[in-house]
Structure 1
Amino acid sequence: MGQYNAAIIGLGIMGRRMIANFAKHPSFKIASVWDPSKKSMEKTKADFPDIHFSETPEALINEVQPDLLYIACPPEFHKQYALKAIDAEIPLYIEKPLGVDIQESESLVEILEIKNHINAVNFVQASSEAIEKVQLLLENNELGDITGVDIILQYHQWPRVWQVEADWLRFKASGGYIREVLSHFIFVIERLFGAAKVNFAQPTYPDDPKLCETHLQAKLECGAISINIFGSVGGNGPDRQEITIWGEDKSVRISDFYLLEISEGDKWSSLVKHKVDPRSETLQRQLDNIIKLLEGHPQPLADARTALSVQKIIERLLIA
């Protein structure tokens, strides 16, 4: 295993988080970064003064020539930077969602597949220990017949306090928690139970037509398994992000993406013991799998075709 040069386009919350995680991983180093926002570039320079900053995305791709390009800008810009990397034959690591325009994403996936271009989309649950354990429980039929799945997302405010600098997240055009968070859970149910179909969706929007959704009630099906979704914004209390898989013998619940619990009766018991911060731990596992992807080894990462399936469901759920 060698050391790979990673470059980043997009220096918002996820871009800066991934700078730290790439730097922590022994097989990666940051070759260069770029963002169209002067403010984001300056904030990144303050946090990471020793890394290289490119003047343009073209310079980052064509002059730096990294081994991997991580795209972390808002999703409507993913395709334009991905195409530049494809032309330069640079493997792609794209932040989810893949995009917001279905036709654009279909075109991108077609190009990636025709050219057999190395790519992954950052659904971190692909590398989650919690999902690995749930897959084993399902394969061994330890939960019994699955009677249903519930997904609950509840936020005191959206964007959340730590996200407010990413102002685009509050707008309908490309933001909202359905795209930003629910997409992770749609990836999970399709990974565990196969292709999902939307039976019913009722999103609620504010009076301002530019703003993103506040509430969602929806029902999906994965084969014979019903998936119930409830989302809301507002009210004082802790945020909730959880998926519960109800089985006739045992049930499991994943909270905040990483915390796995199991129940055989009237209480939940933890199944995963994290030694460090679970977010960082899972991102390091994700980068381990990116190495496997680059070196041609089997790995569980989501590719663009998988992400397109998720995107189609998400965009359907957003139709009032």
Structure 2
Amino acid sequence: MTSTPIRLGIVGLGAMGQGLFTAALPHPDFVVSRAADLDPAMIARLAAEHLGIVFSTEPKDVIGADGVDAVYIATPPGTHAALVVPALQAGQAVFCEKPLSVSAADAEAMLSAAKASGRAAAVNFSLSDRQSTRYVEAAIADGRVGEVLAVEIRLAFPVWPREFQAAATWVGERAQGGFVREVFSHFAYLTDRLVGPLELVHGVLDHRGPGSETAAYGLMRAGDIPVQLTGVVGAQPTTYEWVLRGSRQSYRLSNWRDLFVAEGNGWQPVDLTGEPGSETTRLSLFARAIRGEQTPDLADFASAYRVQQVVEAFHSA
């Protein structure tokens, strides 16, 4: 028996919002009923292309609106609380872009609203449902890794913001942007999930101008396990790398989904099978959460808040 599709509203149609909008259109669990963005030209274009969807330049036409069961929030992080809290209070489930917020007070208000509403509330960390994440999680659980000894995170960007985010000027500003919030947060989530909550021991952000950080380096710990971050803007090649060092096996995740294992000398690729994880699969998990199922591969607000705390600690260090 097929469940009734969930009526989805979207607020924010930038790079991330349009990506999820595209994934949601054919998704069997959802029907996109409303969408909003501040750009009137974009709204006019999309309205002409998708006649069955109500488009608006006003978020209020989605948040709390009739005909919307769940909302996806893809706006700058400083605006999340002002959208998430009233959506939850109106009885809508919420799927929010990361980072959860840049303000502890805002994040706490979002956590409280989610608890009070009883609705599904999740955050779109792209590593939450990756096959590589589940594989390493199993390797830790069944003892293949042995003792977890350390984690290393290495990031490099020829330019920041990256080309696909260039139109979102806030991504390159200090108040809400920077690669520590936008990219490191994904790997902080992964470390929190697989190793444990992070605490910043020493962190530094370097700036060469008025914009967001151009370098970051820090030492954290997950319990007694050291976690290191190095990141730089202006360097080649683009690098996304997360390494888990174990007494029996070590794992390296490169470019979001390429997984390697070392047992002895040298890295060998891990042959992963099945769905690698995507906006489509995370939408499926969100639908399951809305329908009351357990979804451990979907990040909740509590884990996103722990990530926010360590991310913002870099900015206040």
Q: Distance in 2 between matches of 1:287 and 1:108?
A: 20
8 Å contact kept, 2:64–2:92: no
Matched, 1:282 2:284: no
8 Å contact kept, 2:241–2:254: yes
Question: Could you say what the CA RMSD is over the residues aligned between the two structures, in angstroms?
Answer: 2.0
Unaligned runs of 5+ in 1: none
CA offset digits 1:221-272 (Å, max 9, x no partner): 111211011010013x220011000112211111122221212233322224
Q: Distance in 2 between matches of 1:70 and 1:272?
A: 33
8 Å contact kept, 1:98–1:121: yes
Pair 44,312 (structure 1): closer, same or farther in 2 beyond 3 Å: farther
> Residue 318 of structure 1 corresponds to which residue in structure 2?
315
- The alpha-carbon deviation at position 49 of structure 1 amounts to 6.5
> Residue 118 of structure 1 corresponds to which residue in structure 2?
120
> Residue 230 of structure 2 corresponds to which residue in structure 1?
230
Matched, 1:166 2:163: no
Q: TM-score, normalised by structure 2?
A: 0.93
Unaligned runs of 5+ in 2: none
> Residue 88 of structure 1 corresponds to which residue in structure 2?
90
8 Å contact kept, 2:203–2:217: yes
Q: Distance in 1 between matches of 2:155 and 2:43?
A: 32
8 Å contact kept, 1:143–1:251: yes
Greater shift, 256-265 or 53-62, is seen at: 53-62
Identity of aligned residues (%): 28
> Residue 129 of structure 1 corresponds to which residue in structure 2?
131
Q: TM-score, normalised by structure 1?
A: 0.92
More helix by share: 1
Matched, 1:299 2:295: yes
Pair 191,53 (structure 1): closer, same or farther in 2 beyond 3 Å: same
Question: Which of 152, 155, 170 does residue 153 from structure 1 map onto?
Answer: 155
Q: Distance in 2 between matches of 1:193 and 1:51?
A: 43
Tell me which amino acid in the other structure corresponds to 1:312. Q
Question: Which of 298, 305, 308 does residue 305 from structure 2 map onto?
Answer: 308
Q: Report the 3-state secondary structure (helix = DSSP H, G, I; strand = E; otherwise coil) of the residue aligned with 2:75.
A: coil
Tell me which amino acid in the other structure corresponds to 1:313. V
Matched, 1:269 2:268: yes
Tell me which amino acid in the other structure corresponds to 1:305. A
Which aligned pairs between 1:40-59 and structure 2 lie closer than 5 A?
40-42=42-44, 44-45=46-47, 51-59=53-61
Aligned residues: 314
Q: Distance in 1 between matches of 2:41 and 2:198?
A: 40
Greater shift, 260-269 or 70-79, is seen at: 260-269
Q: Report the 3-state secondary structure (helix = DSSP H, G, I; strand = E; otherwise coil) of the residue aligned with 1:158.
A: coil
8 Å contact kept, 1:128–1:285: no
8 Å contact kept, 1:65–1:90: no
8 Å contact kept, 2:33–2:52: no
Pair 180,49 (structure 1): closer, same or farther in 2 beyond 3 Å: farther
8 Å contact kept, 2:145–2:247: yes
- The alpha-carbon deviation at position 136 of structure 1 amounts to 0.3
Q: Report the 3-state secondary structure (helix = DSSP H, G, I; strand = E; otherwise coil) of the residue aligned with 2:107.
A: helix
Q: Distance in 2 between matches of 1:56 and 1:143?
A: 50
